[in-house]
Amino acid sequence: MIVLQSGESRMADQDEGKKASKEGHKLDASKKAKRTRTVRNFPASTFEDALDLAKSVLDFGAGQPVRRVSLFGHLGKSPESGASRQLITNANKYGLIKGSTQAEQLELTSDGKKAVDDQIQARERTRARVNLAVLGIEPFAALYEKFTGLRLPAKAALTDAIKEIGVGADAAEEAVDTFVVNLRFVGLLQTLSGADRIITLDHLLDELPTSIPAEVTRNATPEPRNELITSTEAHFESTAFYITPIGDLGSEHRDHSDLFLGSIIEPALEPLQLTVVRADKIDRPGIITKQVIEYLFKSRLVIADLSYHNPNVFYELAIRHMLRKPVVQIMRSADTIPFDVNQVRTITIDTTSIYKLVPQIDTYRSAIAAQARKALEDPDAVDSPISMHFPAADVG
């Protein structure tokens, strides 16, 4: 028997369907809002990233207060963009500058001036950076006090400790990554006797020469992982595409790529719930070149390994730069960064010997995770050599 539904009944069902659809959209939006709303009691960037704005204030105004609008005009950025406002907020939280996102002027603090002025004595500059990057941030200072003089603990131990200090569970791993990168940058994390150790400020100051390098080498503890995670379908929203020189099986390039993938990149991005895919591991039928370009266009994140100056990597990186989508650049310390891409921060990894690489792997992971978070939180504000010089360019 066939039962015919009345017009009135069908309309009622359609109304219910529309209502359910609206409720579903509201629920999805609510879930997205909850996922992206992270409460932090620490800056949302590394100290080195915030230091760039302070340096710009110094260079643009010779150390004097500068007009906020003029400064960002000079930098080729909109003063009202989300990225610009975040730069100001983070520099404020680190105590580098005075002046809010709506202030007429931005001004360096006393310690901020010391932190960016290469003309002052190295010890004074380093002390200022330590105060701002670590001791001036409550959870970082507490974590530093707890582990000073010890080997750098495993990330899980640091994460548990920072939760006890008062950082929320949703922000704990980010806080640890930022803390470790800041320690390395200011010099409080050093490789001694084959292991990363958190040293005292007095130890750091005592060992300083008359001048200190502008950038402190970054570093990290291995946890090799050989298994590659692939998927029969391209879940691009949860994919980080790794562009790298691959080479033939058993070649130096392949060994390099496998090492970086399994020991550094995958562990770094696992907390961000990103699956790392490399071109030779795309588990889908079709033309490889087309698939690579599809991943460059659609992947949520790209990790670009500039080691060995491989032409294919630079070609693929240029595509991603033109799209203005999130990228993290990494490279062996043995290679030099070409001037075309040296305006974008690149994480250098010391592979000159196993004795230098192994103790530093945890720090490299933290540096990659920190840059990835920053890029993913505001993907519309991604900078590249193309966007810096042609901010109005739009490929979309």
The tokens for 178 are: 């930022």
For 141-165, write each residue's pLDDT tens digit.
999 999 999 999 999 999 999 999 9
Find out whether 216 and 186 touch, Cβ atoms under 8 Å. Answer: yes
The pLDDT assigned to 208 comes to 76
pLDDT > 70 in the chain, percent? 78
Q: CA-CA distance, 241 to 260, in Å (whole number)?
A: 13
Find out whether 365 and 268 touch, Cβ atoms under 8 Å. Answer: yes
Find out whether 254 and 248 touch, Cβ atoms under 8 Å. Answer: yes
With 0-12 / 13-18 / 19 or more C-beta atoms within 10 angstroms meaning exposed / middle / buried, residue 318 is middle
CATH 3.10.150.10 matches 47-114: no
Phi, psi (degrees; rounded to nearest 5) at 198: -90, 115
The pLDDT assigned to 18 comes to 55
List the domain boundaries for the chain. 47-114, 119-207, 236-389
Under CATH, which number does the domain 236-389 receive?
3.40.50.450
Does residue 229 surpass a pLDDT of 70?
no
Mean pLDDT, the chain, whole residue set: 83
For 153-205, write each residue's pLDDT tens digit.
999 999 999 999 999 999 999 999 999 999 999 999 998 877 899 999 999 99
Find out whether 322 and 303 touch, Cβ atoms under 8 Å. Answer: no
Mean pLDDT of 364-388: 80
More confident residue, 31 or 328: 328
Does residue 81 surpass a pLDDT of 80?
yes
For 58-70, write each residue's pLDDT tens digit.
999 988 999 999 9
| C-alpha closest to that of 368 among 279, 300, 304 | 304
Q: Do domains 47-114 and 236-389 have the same CATH topology?
A: no
Does residue 6 surpass a pLDDT of 80?
no
The pLDDT assigned to 236 comes to 87
What's the chain's length in residues? 396
The pLDDT assigned to 268 comes to 95
Q: CA-CA distance, 97 to 92, in Å (whole number)?
A: 5
Q: Is 67 helix (H, G, I), strand (E, B) or coil?
A: strand
